[in-house]
Each structure stands twice: as C-alpha cells, then as structure tokens.
Amino acid sequence: MMMKHKVNMAMVFVQIIYAGMPLLSKVAISQGTNPFVFVFYRQAFAALALSPFAFFLESAKSSPLSFVLLLKIFMISLCGLTLSLNLFYVAIDNTTATFAAATTNAIPSITFVLAFLFR
C-alpha cells in the first residue's frame, strides 16, 4: 500500500517545498541578503546538485555542441530562468511574498513570448 503512494507523496512534498520557497526567501531577503546574491547561490546549488546526474546518466548520449547551439542555450537560460528569478527576488524584496508568488503564474506566458521572439 505504501509503495503505491510514493509518487503521490513525492509530488505533495515537492509542492510544499515550492509553496514555502517564497516565504523562506522573503525572510532571507528581509534579513539583508542581496536578491542577486540569493539567485547566484540558488543557481550554484542547483548546478552542483544536478551535475553528477548529468555527468553519469547523460554523458554517453551527448551530442557535440556547436557554438551557435551553445549561444542559443545560453541566451534562453539567461532570458528565461535567470531573468525571471532575478525579477522574482527583487519583487519579493519590494512586495509581499504572496504577491510575488502569485506573479510566477506569468512565467509560462513570458517564456512563450521569448521563445517566439528568439526562434
């Protein structure tokens, strides 16, 4: 019975973390953390946490990267995730965590517009 619900419990756990992140971020930024430094730490931690999985699980499947493809990946990551995270944490610094969390629902539409512009 418990094995059957592991996936559901994992999804609930991820949603709890996702919902609590704006609140914890607001507390950290209110204590004086620079929002841009906070984004850097978040991105660095994510890179360190995901790099071993990418290296060991995906290294055999990787195809060669051209300069143009690498530039496109860089621009998409810069405009898509990094820009939205910086704006999110600046918004948390200037507004409430509830309002900043509600604005994250606009990320899919912003991503669509950027994908349309950079295609």
CA distances from 50 to 24, 47, 111, 119 (A): 22, 5, 22, 27
- Decide if pLDDT at 109 tops 80: yes
User: Who wins on pLDDT, 20 or 59?
Assistant: 20
74-91 pLDDT tens trace:
888 888 788 888 888 888
Domain interval for residue 82? 3-117
> Domain count of the chain?
1
How many other C-beta atoms are found inside a 10 Å radius of the C-beta of residue 72? Answer: 13
* pTM tops 0.75: no
Closest by CA position to 26, among listed 84, 76, 96, 111: 96
Q: What is residue 1's predicted lDDT score, i.e. its pLDDT?
A: 62
**pLDDT reported for residue 45:** 92
Q: Return the pLDDT at 104.
A: 75
